[in-house]
Amino acid sequence: MNNFEPKIVGFLCNWCSYRGADLAGTSRLTYAPNLRVIRVMCSGRIEPLFVIKAFKEGADGVLICGCHPGDCHYSEGNYKVMRRVPPLKKMLEQFGIEPERLRVEWVSAAEGERFAEIVNDFTRKISELGPIK
Amino acid sequence: MAKLKFAFYWAATCGGCEEAVVDINEKILDVVNLADIVFWPVALDFKYSHIKAMEDKSIDVCFFNGAIRNEENEQMACLLRQKTRVMVAFGACACFGGIPGLANFTNAEAIFKRVYQETPSTHNPEAVVPQEDFETEEGRLNLPRFYDTVKRLRDVIEVEYFLPGCPPPAELILAAVTAIAENKLPPVGATIAGAKTLCDECDREKDKKVVTEFKRPYEIIPDTRKCLLEQGIICAGPATRAGCGQRCINANMGCRGCFGPPEGVIDQGAALLSALSSICEIKDESELKKIKPLILDPAGLVYRFSLPDSLLKSKRSVISG
């Protein structure tokens, strides 16, 4: 689909990834505008329910970003989300939602450029997948 | 005071809920002293016409077990609603869809194909499947329409109370009947069980919720005093309503979740998946094999009794109807 602009919900942790996104902005980087950012204090706050609800409300993709493993502001929050995602992806597949629509990336506060690349890449991949059923 | 009028009905169910009614043993005599059973197809001979002939709202309480799988289930639910003052969703299937609700990962067409053609013991070269309308010499035959998805009772009619469990334990059934007799029913919409989680009332010793690896039940003889989850046995206690009397826990088995979500939880499966996966000690994605029992069939595991009660309700390609 040529005119399809995917809606992507992004859950970003306050301490690393949201700062990374901020850096992308203050650095005047241009990247895909498809991401709707929701800031959470820690990626460990992100429950499977949040992701399921996003898809139910019509999101075409969900991006979860947290601190790099070992760098969590709360020591271990990002490990929690790391553990939740593989069974959640499998479960989404069982519900007929392509697991590729959910993506986890570790983005530090210094990685503004990398954040922009991730958003561009994810937006392109979701565009290829098309709208959610 | 005139005797109360009770009705029992079963829709898409295994019959275990009917067993549970009989399992109150001699207490059934108290129930019969209290109420006349005016409709109970599993035990006594009734016809649709008998219930249609009753006056509206003439049944005091209807205990409805089973999910809504086909047109007949829905018609009976609507008819009983019309005749009943207090409707009780009885058992996990009526409350949340239950085991039949797992069929929402597929649809009517696929189920018919599997059952009437693909199963190894089936010999059906002409691919004969049940038809809704069929013309015979004796006349026209009708079968109720088989829906694509399984629904909860509350998806088709208004329900006053919920009595969960697979099946509901005798103590809760008696508690409900006593509450009705004494006119001490909770507010409409209440679930007649605990409000918190099963973990909250579980007597086992709990230490630190860290699991190094999940085990299948045959791989371990669990300690009868310690938390099953901490021993690596999958237990739905963290995301399941209390009030069952810990039947499975006392038998040294993990909870399977038949009491549905506790008060305030929207989606039992999502909550359980979150709880189970978070406690498994993994700090590297290469160690994911430790949560293998969770990866094999997560949806079937966490939504064992509550798929039609979940946010997504069914597989996305399945058309609701």
pLDDT digits (tens, 9 = 90+) for B233-247: 999 999 999 999 999
Q: Are A67 and A82 in contact (CB under 8 A)?
A: no
Mark whether B129 and B207 lie in a shared domain.
Answer: no
Tokens encoding A96: 């007929």
Q: Is B264 left (phi over 0), alpha (psi -120 to 50) or beta?
A: left
Q: How distant, in Å, are the alpha carbons of A66, A67, A72, A92, A103 from that of A41?
A: 10, 11, 11, 25, 19
**Residue B281: its pLDDT value, please?**
85
Tokens encoding B130: 């049940």
- Selected residue with higher pLDDT from B162 and B127: B162
Residues of A in Cβ contact (< 8 Å) with B298: 87-88, 90-91, 94
Residue B188: inside a domain: no
Amino acid at B5: K
Mark whether B258 and B217 lie in a shared domain.
Answer: yes
Helix (H) or strand (E) holding B68: strand B68-70
Q: Domain residues for B305?
A: 198-320
Binned at pLDDT 50, 70 and 90, residue B30 comes out as: confident
CB atoms closer than 10 angstroms to residue A36: 12
Residue B190: inside a domain: no
Mark whether B252 and B165 lie in a shared domain.
Answer: no
**Residue B102: its pLDDT value, please?**
96
Binned at pLDDT 50, 70 and 90, residue B215 comes out as: confident
What is the three-class DSSP state of B304?
A: coil
pLDDT tops 50 at residue B19:
yes
The alpha carbons of chain B give a radius of gyration, in whole angstroms, of: 22
Round to whole Å and give the CA distance between B229 and B278. Answer: 12
Q: What confidence tens digit (pLDDT) does each residue in B75-92 have?
A: 999 999 999 999 999 999
Helices (H), chain A: 17-26, 48-56, 77-94, 112-129
Q: Which of B271, B298, B300 sits opposite A49 (nearest CB)?
A: B271
Mark whether B60 and B162 lie in a shared domain.
Answer: yes
* A44 backbone dihedrals φ, ψ, rounded to 5°: -65, -15
**Residue B292: its pLDDT value, please?**
80
Binned at pLDDT 50, 70 and 90, residue B320 comes out as: very low
Mark whether B157 and B226 lie in a shared domain.
Answer: no
pLDDT tops 70 at residue A2:
no
Candidates B107, B21, B111; CA nearest to B63 is B21
Residue B192: inside a domain: no
Candidates B50, B1, B58, B5; CA nearest to B31 is B5
**Residue A33: its pLDDT value, please?**
96
Question: How many structural domains comprise chain B?
Answer: 3
**Could A94 and B266 be called an inter-chain contact, meaning their C-beta atoms sit closer than 8 Å?**
no
CATH number at residue B172: 3.40.50.700
Mutate one of B268, B274, B301, B317 to test the A interface: name it (highest A CB count within 10 A).
Answer: B274
Q: Is A58 left (phi over 0), alpha (psi -120 to 50) or beta?
A: left
Round to whole Å and give the CA distance between B251 and B16. Answer: 19
Tokens encoding B169: 């334990």
Residue B89: inside a domain: yes
* B126 backbone dihedrals φ, ψ, rounded to 5°: -90, 5
Mark whether B125 and B249 lie in a shared domain.
Answer: no
pLDDT tops 50 at residue B290:
yes
pLDDT tops 50 at residue B95:
yes
Give residue B166's Cα distance to chain centre: 6
Mark whether B173 and B48 lie in a shared domain.
Answer: yes
Mark whether B156 and B284 lie in a shared domain.
Answer: no
What angle in degrees, to the nearest 10, is found between the helix axes of B268-278 and A48-56?
Answer: 140
pLDDT tops 90 at residue B154:
yes
Residue B298: inside a domain: yes
Binned at pLDDT 50, 70 and 90, residue B318 comes out as: low
Mutate one of B214, B283, B310, B314 to test the A interface: name it (highest A CB count within 10 A).
Answer: B283
Give residue A129's Cα distance to chain centre: 16
Mark whether B141 and B161 lie in a shared domain.
Answer: no
Residue B187: inside a domain: no
Binned at pLDDT 50, 70 and 90, residue B1 comes out as: low
pTM score of the predicted model: 0.93
Tokens encoding A32: 């895909």
pLDDT tops 90 at residue B248:
yes
Poorest-confidence range of A25-29, A31-35, B280-284, B294-298? B280-284
Q: What confidence tens digit (pLDDT) does each residue in A94-130 have?
A: 999 999 999 999 999 999 999 999 999 999 999 999 9
Interface of B with A (CB under 8 A): 105, 266-267, 269-271, 273-274, 276-278, 280, 282-285, 288, 291, 294-295, 297-300, 302, 311-312, 314-318
Residue B191: inside a domain: no
Mark whether B140 and B276 lie in a shared domain.
Answer: no
pLDDT tops 90 at residue A13:
yes
Q: What confidence tens digit (pLDDT) does each residue in B301-315 have?
A: 999 999 999 999 999
Q: How do strand A102-106 and strand B133-136 relate by DSSP bridges?
A: unpaired
Share of chain B above pLDDT 90, in %: 77
Mark whether B250 and B128 lie in a shared domain.
Answer: no
Q: How do strand B146-151 and strand B68-70 relate by DSSP bridges?
A: antiparallel
Q: What confidence tens digit (pLDDT) does each residue in A59-97 have?
A: 999 999 999 999 999 999 999 999 999 999 999 999 999
Mark whether B56 and B168 lie in a shared domain.
Answer: yes
pLDDT tops 90 at residue B217:
no
Q: Are B246 and B165 in contact (CB under 8 A)?
A: no
Residue B171: inside a domain: yes
Round to whole Å and give the CA distance between A82 and A72. Answer: 12
